[in-house]
Amino acid sequence: MGKLISLINVTLDGFFDSQYVNANAEFHEFVHPLLAGAHTVGFGRGSFELFQQVWPAVLANPESPESQRRMAQALNDIDKIAFSTTLKETTWANSRIEVMDAEFINQIKTGSDKNLLTIGSPGFVGKLTQLGIVDEYYFSVQPVIAGGGNNRMFARETLPERQPLQFVDSRSLASGVQILHYRKP
């Protein structure tokens, strides 16, 4: 059975806005094994639209840096689901739109030995966390105090109770990004 794994960036003061992400070649190299262990990448609508705008263009540009082209190819090749009730169409290869439903997500997890990986999507990850179905988290802590932003993981919903996590490991990148890996006990 696969797991639901969340990779999400956060500033030191708790903002999950993509504008604060330091996603360089070293970060891309960290992400590749997560993608290789996944059969599908799930996104909330906002993150999906951002990725759909950025990564196909990187792949189409022969002058894009090699680490970005490699990431763009990996994202292009994997199955992707945009979980949304408002998104009507997608133009990104291997992508589809579904309504977020805990039973559907559990079917995805049990239907494969590989994982369902979420990238970004703080509102979506907040809902999944509220439902208690995220198995592991990778928090990519960005070396910045944003002082403000648009996205927090629990901006719209709250948890019915505290969800303790078990520390697995951490990794320090040369950029100052700290990747903290936790799982549900």
The pLDDT tens digits for 117-132 are 999 999 999 999 999 9
Give the pLDDT mean for 139-148. Answer: 94
- Under the banding of pLDDT at 50, 70 and 90, the label for residue 158 is confident
Mean pLDDT computed over every residue of the chain: 94
pLDDT of 173 = 97
pLDDT of 41 = 98
pLDDT of 109 = 87
Give the pLDDT mean for 94-121. Answer: 93
pLDDT, tens only, 22-64: 889 999 999 999 999 999 999 999 999 999 999 999 999 999 9
Report the C-alpha gap between 134 and 172 in whole angstroms: 23
Q: pTM of the prediction?
A: 0.94
Q: For the beta carbon of residue 92, count every other beta carbon within 10 angstroms.
A: 17
The phi and psi torsions of 92 (rounded to 5 degrees) equal -80, 135
Report the C-alpha gap between 115 and 123 in whole angstroms: 20
Among 3.20.20.70, 3.20.20.10, 2.40.440.10, 3.40.430.10, name the CATH number for the domain at 4-183. Answer: 3.40.430.10
Sequence-distant (6+) residues with CB within 8 A of 116 are 2, 3, 4, 5, 38, 39, 40, 41, 42, 105, 108, 109
- Under the banding of pLDDT at 50, 70 and 90, the label for residue 85 is very high
| Confidence check: pLDDT of 133 > 80 | yes
Domains of the chain, by residue range, sit at: 4-183
